[in-house]
Amino acid sequence: MRLLAAAVLRGGAILNSIQRGHVLFPAAFAIGWVHSNHATFSHHLRSHPGWHVDQAILSEDDRVVVIRFGKDSDPNCMVMDETLYNISESVANFAVVYLCDNTLVPDFNKMYELYDDTTVMFFYRNKHIMIDLGTGNNNKINWPMDNKQEMIDIIETVYRGASKGRGLVVSPKDYSTRYKY
């Protein structure tokens, strides 16, 4: 399978929009990875009022919305982005991945306490799904994960729990001893 990198499109001379489900994402706000037979997009949410972030959360009814908040140029974010990119095709049936640079979209920094280099949060049917990772912070993953299988397992656990109506799920692995705060 031949991989073609899609860059952030500016202006609209090349492409006016990218249609994803029933939400229209302007090309200036999307970044994705395109494979020869189909597209696996990790939408890059860049909008001043945060409207695109809200629409990403509201638009999915059957899949978990995974949003990575952080500064795009940060090394920890790059590690997390690489992991999310590598698993995006594997989790496409039950999750969709979005990236949000919280320096460009600061609307959610206070609301979700986004003070770390990289933060991954999960939403299902417009509801924030918390996950008990053993760290004491059940709202988000706030460290870079480089293990693809662990991330797939976490997203799958979130999907299974959220689809059963649970607002808090327990991670398949306890991270309390690995990362000390």
Judge whether residue 175 has pLDDT over 90.
no
- Residue 89 is predicted with a pLDDT of 95
Higher pLDDT, 172 or 28: 172
- Residue 65 is predicted with a pLDDT of 96
Judge whether residue 22 has pLDDT over 60.
no
The residue range of the domain holding 96 is: 3-170
Q: In sequence order, what E strands does the chain have?
A: 3-6, 17-20, 23-26, 32-35, 39-40, 43-45, 64-70, 95-101, 118-124, 127-132, 168-170
Pairwise CA distance, residues 129 & 165, whole Å: 10
Alpha helices of 60-170 — where are they, by DSSP H?
75-87, 148-163
Judge whether residue 43 has pLDDT over 90.
no
Q: In this predicted model, what pLDDT tens digit does every residue of 49-85 receive, in sequence order?
A: 578 888 889 989 999 999 999 999 999 999 999 999 9
**Residue 181 domain-assigned?**
no
For residue 47, what is the domain's CATH number?
3.40.30.10
Q: In this predicted model, what pLDDT tens digit does every residue of 102-156 receive, in sequence order?
A: 888 888 888 888 889 999 999 999 999 999 998 888 889 999 999 999 999 999 9
Burial class of 65 by CB neighbour count within 10 A (0 to 12, 13 to 18, 19+): buried
Pairwise CA distance, residues 154 & 23, whole Å: 26
Pairwise CA distance, residues 118 & 128, whole Å: 17
Higher pLDDT, 37 or 68: 68
**Residue 179 domain-assigned?**
no
- Residue 6 is predicted with a pLDDT of 29
Number of domains into which the chain is organized: 1
- Residue 103 is predicted with a pLDDT of 87
Q: Which long-range contacts (CB under 8 A, 24 or more apart) does 152-155 make?
A: 152/87, 152/90, 152/91, 155/64, 155/66, 155/87, 155/91, 155/94, 155/95, 155/122
Report the DSSP pairing between strands 43-45 and 39-40: unpaired
- Residue 180 is predicted with a pLDDT of 56
**Residue 48 domain-assigned?**
yes
**Residue 176 domain-assigned?**
no
**Residue 151 domain-assigned?**
yes
- Residue 104 is predicted with a pLDDT of 86
**Residue 177 domain-assigned?**
no
For residue 133, the 8-state DSSP code is -
User: What's the pTM?
Assistant: 0.74
- Residue 136 is predicted with a pLDDT of 85
